[in-house]
Amino acid sequence: MQCDVYFISESTGITADELGNSLLSQFPQFSFTKRYHPFIDTIEKAEALVNQINEVAQDQTVKPLVFATMAKSEINKTLAKVNANYYELFDNYLAKIASNLGVEPRRESGLMHGLVNERQYDDRIDAVNYTLAHDDAMVLKGLDQADVIMVGVSRSGKTPTCLYLALKYGIKAANYPLTDDDFKKHIFPKELLKFREKLIVTTISPQRLHHIREKRRPGSRYASMPVCASEIKMAMDMYDRHLLTPLDVTTQSVEELATQIVRIYRTSKQIA
Amino acid sequence: MQCDVYFISESTGITADELGNSLLSQFPQFSFTKRYHPFIDTIEKAEALVNQINEVAQDQTVKPLVFATMAKSEINKTLAKVNANYYELFDNYLAKIASNLGVEPRRESGLMHGLVNERQYDDRIDAVNYTLAHDDAMVLKGLDQADVIMVGVSRSGKTPTCLYLALKYGIKAANYPLTDDDFKKHIFPKELLKFREKLIVTTISPQRLHHIREKRRPGSRYASMPVCASEIKMAMDMYDRHLLTPLDVTTQSVEELATQIVRIYRTSKQIA
């Protein structure tokens, strides 16, 4: 079954996208056609969009769903007239929280994803620059400034996870791939042991590593099952020797890994 | 005024973080102490957490807020007993959407940010790899595979925006910084004009560029106001000559820029 879904916001619409898609993921029976309308920040734009949605909706079997995050009540009122199942995701909660806290909400748009807190924003950009400069052990100097250092065999998902940590959380995340050089020496890199409290060592199943490497270099020795299995075994031996507990990345997404690393980082900083 | 806030989820908690923080941003009068508890996926963990929150809450003037996203009703019931203002962000909407669509929700956790759709996930990782390889015009070969190509003066925020596009949307985003070489020739790079429909050209205010560059290389000629102003002027002249309309990045965050670029990209692909 098919259903049209609209994501509407005065601002980026990232929150509507996030909650809306989380909710839709619970209905895999349906095929959703998704349309995104950010920056609907005037009543005129809202009216035009309502007309557009209503016109398309006439030809649909299933009434469309609309997820909207509207900090401003007037625009919300206009949108709410749409001939669709309309879910505004702010208003209800804002009113309740306001009553809990005993203060009125600001009702301004763009407070979440705009350039509101410039210092915090600059920290995130600095973290991205740091993470890029310390990707793939390109620079070992400056690891004292890292918040976390991810370690694991090549192609086990360190880089995307580190970039996610930097972009979303402003965490300076260096990463170090264990390579033949390290395996020949049979010892965990000494430069890294200095920063033991920042280390996030990882493991992965040989099958998954083989699958990822095959896509990169099909048929290569590097991607072969024996090499993948042997590298992982050697890495695990190194971790064992230093009592480092690995995070298994095999079945985890970047978001899931990042969430765990943030938790470890915050605990170590006694933030959480 | 100060208030404790908890973000709780069976899975990563990214959705609770997103909507919860969006709502909190509307109450700048308050200082919120935030604690994140992802992966609360058993009744036992939920009970322990409830006890912990209740204990801390005894010493607080303002009752804590709890934002939770619980796909599973049993765990939600346990958490809802907490002595706090409890907001579960799924249940109400799930029930309504289920009734709109005439089907039952799956009520499984991790459907949004887990490794559920492996093909889509691999596309995102491929996009990150592509974007890294085509950062800062490192490789001009392969621009035919780019989804978008961001162009602008150095340090105008292209790299973080491109990485965000890749990580979140799976968009292959190359970026090209206009440099002295291009300015000396007084012409927009020919290699890029071949991909006109993919170009996102940007501008920025001289003040903002000066501010960013000063942090990078304080007191340098590169960061000076005259050089910043002149580069921006030359870039704008190039854009004009080719009727390219720039996106002004001065007051926009990575998220806001990415949202606009995604919109342009989807329109050009006639996806939206």
Interface with A, mutate which of B3, B11, B19, B52 (most A CBs under 10 A)? B19
pLDDT tens by residue, A138-156:
778 899 999 999 999 999 9
Query: Which residues of chain A lie closer than 8 angstroms to B263, CB-CB?
Result: 36, 38
Average pLDDT, chain A: 93
pLDDT tens, position by position, B3-43? 999 999 999 999 999 999 999 999 999 999 999 999 999 99
pLDDT digits (tens, 9 = 90+) for A75-90: 999 999 999 999 999 9
- B204 CB-contact burial (10 Å; exposed 0-12 / middle 13-18 / buried 19+): buried
Joined together, the tokens standing for residue A137 give 């052990």
Calculate mean pLDDT across residues A215-234.
96
> In the prediction, which pLDDT does B136 show?
87
- What parts of chain B have a pLDDT lower than 70? 270-272
For the stretch A157-212, pLDDT in tens is 999 999 999 999 999 999 999 998 899 988 899 999 999 999 999 999 999 999 99
> Which residue of chain A comes nearest to B132, CA vs CA?
A132
Contact A96 B85 (CB under 8 A): yes
CATH number of A118-268, picked from 1.10.3470, 3.40.50, 3.60.21, 1.10.1760: 3.40.50
pLDDT at residue A271 greater than cutoff 60: no
Q: Do B118-268 and B2-101 fall under one CATH topology?
A: yes
Q: What is the pLDDT of residue A140?
A: 80
Q: In percent, how much of chain A has pLDDT > 70?
A: 99
**B97 → closest Cβ in A65, A114, A163:** A65
pLDDT of B270 reads: 67
Indicate if the pLDDT at residue A91 is higher than 90: no
Q: Where do runs of H (alpha helix) occur along chain A?
A: 14-24, 43-57, 73-79, 91-101, 118-133, 158-169, 180-185, 190-193, 206-216, 225-241, 254-268
| Chain A nearest C-alpha distance from B81 (Å) | 17
State both tokens at B121: 């996930």
Q: Quick one: pLDDT band at residue A270, thresholds 50, 70, 90?
A: low
A93 pLDDT above the threshold of 70: yes
Would you call A26 and B63 a contact, using CB atoms and an 8 Å cutoff? no
Cβ B159–A128 below 8 Å, yes or no?
yes
Q: Do A263 and B167 touch (CB under 8 A)?
A: no
Residue spans of the domains in chain B: they are: 2-101, 118-268
Q: pLDDT tens across A40-55, in order? A: 999 999 999 999 999 9
For the domain made up of B2-101, give the CATH fold.
Rossmann fold (3.40.50)
